[in-house]
Structure 1
C-alpha cells in the first residue's frame, strides 16, 4: 500500500501503514509552539486498508477539503474522515492563528472530475456559488477575513483579523461589517454549514475563524477575487 505525504510550510512527512502520523504542538509533525493548539490534535492513519484523518483532540475542530473545493467536512473531536482525494487540504484554528496542511495520496480510492465554474462578479450583482447566492458585500466580508491567507505564497500559518480590523480594511463601520457577517453566517448555516453561531466574544472569534476556514475550503473566494478589495470605498449611507 502506498504511503501518504503530509506537507506543512515546505516540509514533507511520510505516513505508512505501520507508522501513522500525529499532528499537533508536540507530535510527529510539530505545527507550532502555540499554547492554544493540542499537543496531539490530528492523526493520519491506515484503517483496514483505507487512509483516514482523525481528530484526536478534545476541543479544536478542523475543516477538510479537496483541492477543487467540491468536498468539505467539519472534523469535530473524536471524528474521522476517509482520505479519498489525491490532494486534501486541512484548515484549523488555534487561538488567533489559522493553519493549512496538505495531505497527498498517490493512489486515491476515488477520482473526481471537477466542474469548472468561474462566475463574473465584477458587475456588483449576486454571485451563485454551489447553489448559494452571495452578494458583492458578502464576498468582501469573506475577502477581509481571508486576505492574508489568499495573498501568502506558502501554505502554513496565518491570522484571522478581528471584526474591527476587517471593517477598517473595507472602510466600513463595525456595525455595518457585523451586519453583513451575520447575514452570511445565517445564509451558510441554512445550507447546513456548522460552527457559525457565536454570541460571546470568544464564540464570535471562533465564528470568524470557522467562516474563513469554510470560505477557503469551499473556494467561496480565491486569489482572483482579491481585485474586489482594490479601491474599496466607504458607502456612508448604506454601511453606516
Structure 2
C-alpha cells in the first residue's frame, strides 16, 4: 500500500488523507490512489471506479488527479472560498492546508479531506462588505430554494466528519418539505438554472442531469460553497411562509 492507516494524523507527514475517521500518511515517492480497489478503498460501490483519484508528488508540489473515465469531483479549500470541478483527465495542485473532496457514484455521495502540514498557499479570511454581504462567490436564493437545497443535503450534513451518504430522491425530498413532487421538481429546475447561469458545471445538459446526477452535483456544490451547513438544518422543521 502507498498509505498507512493511523489512529491520529501524523505531524511529521507533509500530506495526510482523512476518511471516515481513518488517517493515511502519504509518501512523496509513491502515488496514493482513491477508489473502489485502491490504497483508500472508499466503498464497494459498482458505480465507483477501481482507481478514481490519485495524489502524487511532482515538480515540488502535491497533485490531485482524476484518472477515472466518467466521474468528476468537487474540490474546495477548507473555508469554501475556492472551488474547482475536477473532470476526468484533469489535475490540480494541492496548495491549501485543508482540501475537501466531494464526489458521487450512483446514488451515494462521498467526502474525504486532504491535510497539508506545509501548504504553499496562505489562506486569508473572506472579506465582508459594509452591508455584511460576503463578496466571494455569492449567489442569492429564495427561502424555498434554500429549503430545497437543505432537504437534498440533509443526509450529508447530519453525518459526523467525512464519509458517505445517499442523496434523497425528489419524491423523498419533497415529502420532507411537505411539497408536491411537481413543485419540488419545478423549484429544482430554477435552482439549477440559477447556478448554471453563474458558471456552475454539471447541473444542465442531457437527460441524465435531471436525475441523480443533477441532485448530487447540487449537493456537492452546496456543501463546498457553504450554501448549506449543519446550522441551517433547523429551517427544515420551521413553519413555511406561503409564497
Question: Same fold per TM (> 0.5)?
Answer: yes
The question of whether the paired residues in 2 share the 8 Å contact of 1:171 and 1:233 is answered with no
The question of whether the paired residues in 1 share the 8 Å contact of 2:13 and 2:25 is answered with no
Q: Deviations for 1:152-207, whole angstroms, at most 9, x for unmatched residues?
A: 12310111001111111000111111111111111111110000015535652101
The question of whether the paired residues in 1 share the 8 Å contact of 2:203 and 2:209 is answered with no
Give the match for residue 92 of structure 2: 81
Give the match for residue 8 of structure 2: none
5+ unaligned residues in a row in structure 1: which ranges? 118-126
SS at match of 2:173: helix
Give the match for residue 228 of structure 1: 235
Q: Which moved more, 1:200-209 or 1:150-159?
A: 200-209
Give the match for residue 114 of structure 1: 125
Residues 1:175 and 2:182 are matched in the alignment? yes
Give the Cα separation in 2 of the matches to 1:43 and 1:80: 9
Root-mean-square deviation over aligned CA pairs: 2.2
The question of whether the paired residues in 1 share the 8 Å contact of 2:98 and 2:113 is answered with yes
Give the Cα separation in 2 of the matches to 1:3 and 1:19: 13
Give the match for residue 201 of structure 2: 194
The question of whether the paired residues in 2 share the 8 Å contact of 1:171 and 1:232 is answered with no
Give the Cα separation in 2 of the matches to 1:41 and 1:131: 31
Give the Cα separation in 2 of the matches to 1:220 and 1:198: 23
The question of whether the paired residues in 2 share the 8 Å contact of 1:171 and 1:234 is answered with no
Aligned equivalent of 1:30, options 28, 31, 41: 41
Give the Cα separation in 2 of the matches to 1:129 and 1:66: 13
Give the match for residue 142 of structure 1: 149
Q: Deviations for 1:96-117, whole angstroms, at most 9, x for unmatched residues?
A: 1100000000000011112166
Q: Which moved more, 1:37-46 or 1:222-231?
A: 222-231
Q: Which moved more, 1:207-216 or 1:132-141?
A: 132-141
Residues 1:15 and 2:29 are matched in the alignment? no
Aligned equivalent of 2:191, options 184, 203, 208: 184
Question: 1:84, CA displacement in angstroms?
Answer: 1.1
Residues 1:51 and 2:62 are matched in the alignment? yes
Q: Which moved more, 1:127-136 or 1:31-40?
A: 127-136
Aligned length: 229
Give the Cα separation in 2 of the matches to 1:129 and 1:175: 33
Question: 1:212, CA displacement in angstroms?
Answer: 0.3
Give the match for residue 81 of structure 2: 70
Give the match for residue 137 of structure 2: 130
Give the match for residue 215 of structure 2: 208
Give the Cα separation in 2 of the matches to 1:128 and 1:106: 29
The question of whether the paired residues in 2 share the 8 Å contact of 1:62 and 1:90 is answered with yes
Q: Which moved more, 1:102-111 or 1:1-10?
A: 1-10
